[in-house]
Amino acid sequence: MVLKLLKVFFSNIHDRLFVFISKQRVFEYFLILRTYFLDLFNYKNVFNEINSQIEMGIQLPKSIEIETINRCNGLCSFCPINKNLDERDLTIMDENLFKKILSQLKEINYSGNIGLYSNNEPFLDKRIVRFIKMAKEALPNAYHFLFTNGTILTLENFVDVMDYLDLLIIDNYNDDLEMIAPVKKIYDYCLEHNEYQKKVEIDLRLQNQILFSRGGEAKNRKRFNRMKSSCVTPFNQMVIRPSGEVSLCCNDALGKMTLGNLNNESFLDVWYGEKYTKIREKFHQQKYARENLELCKNCDGAPLTSDNLFSFPEKEDIVKKWK
């Protein structure tokens, strides 16, 4: 009992401390320090992964994000596409294009991670549950995941979509770290139906926080460390926009660097095409390749290596968070 109380006390302190330092600019210096060490120590790992991928031949992406609508209703100050900042023209993916992409992935029996979201709020697209069902049916061996801010997620949609998802991450943004009403409904439902607990993660997050620079596009980031080390993300991730355009990576929130278009090129033609190849060659051959790439030189996100960010938590570990 005493141990339990102490645990709650300290976990609370941790949260409150986090709120305090992240509301202060102090957290920015913490991030600068973090990327400085990441640059220093991660350099070798990233380079080794790039080398081995080049030697083995480029594999299929380990993770694919398909954004079916390029809008969000959120107001996160760290996010370049929050509803007050978004400068993109509203685009909704044509259903035929979505089906075409799925059938191309089915043909190659894609079995990596796939999420029908990217720089958006996926539930703004009324078709999203149906699209996720189609994706699960076409790609039964893939790992289907989704991030949402939970603001417009109804219990009905939640129950429907969980039939097809392996993992749902609900980012509950609130500066007092309190659960917003629609998320609380889902939380309570999961407490009563614990079969969902192994597939649902609810993260209490701050809406106003200093986070990564997002390729220099995060408007609340004043200072950041310009990382020098290489990046392996374009070897591992593909981000598809509603227009069919393929963006450099998820840090290219506004889709400023396009590597192909799935309306007129096939999935494999883009992934193995000239633009991707050139970027990968730069990261392989040039010691300071980031310096010559507009977004990359302002990016302080950790490169998405195949064995860290793309391995999602085991079911048992997700369940533990509910305890």
Ligand X SMILES: C[S@@+](CC[C@H](N)C(=O)[O-])C[C@H]1O[C@@H](n2cnc3c(N)ncnc32)[C@H](O)[C@@H]1O
Q: Using the CB atoms, write b or e for 274-310: b if 16+ within 10 Å.
A: eebeebbebbbeeeebbeebebbbbbbbbbbbbeebb
Does residue number 170 form part of the binding site for ligand SF4 (CB under 6 A)?
Answer: no
Interaction of residue 234 with ligand SF4, rule CB under 6 A: yes
Residues β-bridged to residue 201: 169
| 3 state DSSP class of 298 | coil
Q: Which is nearer to ligand X, 54 or 318 (CB)?
A: 318
User: Which residue number, 74 or 313, has a Cβ lying nearer to ligand SF4?
Assistant: 74
Examine residue 295 and tell whether it contacts ligand SF4 (CB under 6 A): yes
Q: Which amino acid is at 24?
A: Q
* Residues present in the chain in total: 323
**What residues from 117 to 156 belong to the interface with ligand SF4 (CB under 6 A)?**
119-121, 149
Find, among 17, 49, 66, 28, the residue nearest to 224 by Cα. Answer: 28
Is residue 65 a contact point for ligand X (CB under 6 A)?
Answer: no
Helix (H) or strand (E) holding 64: strand 63-66
Among the listed ranges 71-79, 268-276, 279-287, 303-311, the one in contact with ligand X (CB under 6 A) is 71-79
Which of residues 207 and 243 has its CB atom nearest to ligand SF4 in the complex? 207
149 touches ligand X by CB under 6 A: yes
Q: Which helix (H) or strand (E) holds 295?
A: helix 294-297
- Which of 131, 147, 235, 267 is the binder for ligand X (CB under 6 A)? 147
CA–CA gap between residue 123 and residue 148 (Å, rounded): 7
C-beta of 31 vs 262, nearer to ligand X? 31
Is 236 among the residues that bind ligand SF4 (CB under 6 A)?
Answer: no
Amino acid at 179: M
Residues forming contacts to ligand X in the complex (CB under 6 A) are: 72, 74, 78-79, 117, 119, 121, 147-149, 171, 211-212, 214, 218
